[in-house]
Amino acid sequence: MRGARGVWGWLLQRVTAVGLAVVLTVHLYVLHFAGEHAVLTVADVSVRLRTLTFILVDFGLLAFALYHGLYGLRSVILDYTTRESTVRAVTVGLWALGSIAFVYGALALLLLIKG
């Protein structure tokens, strides 16, 4: 896509890359280097997800990874086509897939938060 519309997607791709680096670093640090990391249970995850920090980290990881990955996939697909109808169909399809995946992931996180 050309023009102002294409700039926002490109910019969000870079922003989500930085966001992924931050939340993934926190996530990996907590899982592998902080505290008792030898045993990982659903109960431990549920307790950890009762703090706002980890709720934000896990939801951020979900949102950033989905957008970054699906926008990257969109970019690869659009390298092979320039037809406006195909571009629109790919964009709408990936937004729908991303939205469904986010809702599914958010529901799973909410179940862990509730315990």
Query: How far apart, in whole angstroms, are the C-alpha atoms of residue 103 and residue 100?
Result: 5
Distance CA 93, CA 104 (A): 17
Q: Which domain holds residue 79?
A: 4-114
For residue range 21-69, list pLDDT tens digits in order.
999 998 888 877 876 665 677 888 888 888 898 899 999 999 999 999 9
pLDDT in the model for residue 20:
95
Alpha carbons 24 and 99: distance in angstroms, whole number: 21
pLDDT value for 1 = 46
Rounded CA separation 96/94 (Å): 5
106: domain CATH number is 1.20.1300.10
Q: In the chain, how many domains are there?
A: 1
Over 70: is that where the pLDDT of 5 sits? no
pLDDT of residue 115: 72
Straight-line distance from the first to the last Cα atom of the chain, in angstroms, rounded to the nearest whole number: 44
